[in-house]
Amino acid sequence: MSFRSLENANDVKFEEFLEYIFLQTRARQLDPHWMPQYDLCRPCQINYDFIGHYETLHQDAQHVLRLLSHRRLFNNNTAHSVQFPATDADSRNRNSREFLQKYYSRITAKNLFRLLQLYKKDYEVFGFKIPDAVRRKLRHSA
């Protein structure tokens, strides 16, 4: 793998990408796209009213719209007219599980553990769940 490969992303394997992330983390030069959300959002310094999750985007968005209408930042008609497109959540989640299984099966347990350590605060503070594919990989390597 070369840095040119990383720039073009045309032949980089997932394991190589993780090594790049770990190198950037040690050098404290991690691209914001890969930074832990905890470091980007600074939840201990900012008092957020609500933290949503992509997995529950539709429900979370409706909740935020209700809050805004109650605070009179939106009127009730506007809040009800703003909608996120409906998605086939079951299909998306099934595809995500297959995707995770495919990629996590290709990395070492050591790197998987390093990855979890990098994003540990995200899991703790934001309530992210460790995917089943990751749990299985770690269980089988122990």
- Give residue 28's domain range: 1-35
Encode pLDDT of 60-111 as tens digits.
888 887 777 776 665 555 545 566 666 555 455 556 777 777 888 888 889 9
Query: Same domain, yes or no, for 22 and 85?
Result: no
Same domain, 65 and 2: no
DSSP 71-138: TTSS-HHHHHH--PPP--HHHHHHHHHHHHHHHHTTS-HHHHHHHHHHTHHHHHHH-PPPPHHHHHHH
- The verdict on 87 and 126 lying in the same domain is yes
Chain centroid to Cα 52, Å, comes to: 12
Tell whether 29 and 42 lie within a shared domain: no
**CA atoms within a 13 Å half-sphere pointing along the CA-CB vector of 75:** 2
- Kindly state whether residues 61 and 81 are assigned to the same domain: yes
Q: Maximum CA pair distance of the chain?
A: 55
Regarding whether 65 and 79 lie in a shared domain, the answer is yes
Model confidence pLDDT, tens digit, residues 90-99: 455 556 777 7
Same structural domain for residues 1 and 61?
Answer: no
Both tokens of 134, joined, read 């990751």
**Token pair of 95 as six digits:** 């595809």
Structural domains counted in the chain: 2
Residues 15 and 49 in one domain: no
My answer on whether 6 and 25 are in the same domain is yes
Positive or negative torsion for Cα 113, 27, 29, 102: negative
- ∠79-84-88 over CA atoms, to 5°? 145
Answer yes or no: is pLDDT of 10 > 90. no
Residues 3 and 73 in one domain: no
d(CA 97, CA 91): 10
CA 3 to chain centre: 25
Same domain, 31 and 46: no
User: Is it the case that residue 121 has pLDDT exceeding 90?
Assistant: yes
Over the stretch 24-55, which tens digit does the pLDDT of each residue have?
Answer: 998 888 888 889 988 888 888 888 888 888 77
Same domain, 53 and 13: no
